[in-house]
Amino acid sequence: MSEVKFSKEHEWIKLDGDTATIGITQHATEMLGDIVFVELPELGSSVAKDGNAGVVESTKAASDIYTPVSGEIIENNQSIVDDPAKINADPENEAWFFKLKISNKSEMDSLMNKEEYEKFSKESGN
């Protein structure tokens, strides 16, 4: 199992072979507050690195979700669509957002490791 990496948009990504599982970080959920709605990218659609790949809405506002790498969407987590509160409860495990077939593994290189991300989220304060 490969290491979990993180984006500046507060997504996490775990690569397993060609399959990347993507979700949002604990830190992101703390900033967003209670999540009450989620929209995921369509199965089979292609998404480009840093491109829009869904929406989450908290009681306060809507926020876009970005994909940290390019690829084709192969699975959606319907359980968070049905019960968005799961995202606040367990964002970095059970409440993953989508899986994609990664098209260019080198895109992983520019992402942060856990330590770098923790430093980044603390320093950026957002």
* Contacting positions for other proteins (CB under 8 A): 33-34, 36-37, 39, 55, 57-62, 81, 84-85, 88
What is the rounded distance in angstroms from the CA atom of residue 20 to the CA atom of residue 40? Answer: 15
Residue type, position 60, single letter: K
* Tokens 């009681």 found at: 59
What is the rounded distance in angstroms from the CA atom of residue 105 to the CA atom of residue 116? Answer: 20
| Minimum CB–partner distance for residue 15 and other proteins (Å) | 29
Strand ranges inside 1-126, DSSP E = 4-6, 11-16, 19-24, 35-39, 46-47, 52-58, 62-66, 71-76, 98-102
Cβ proximity to other proteins, 43 vs 62, nearer residue: 62
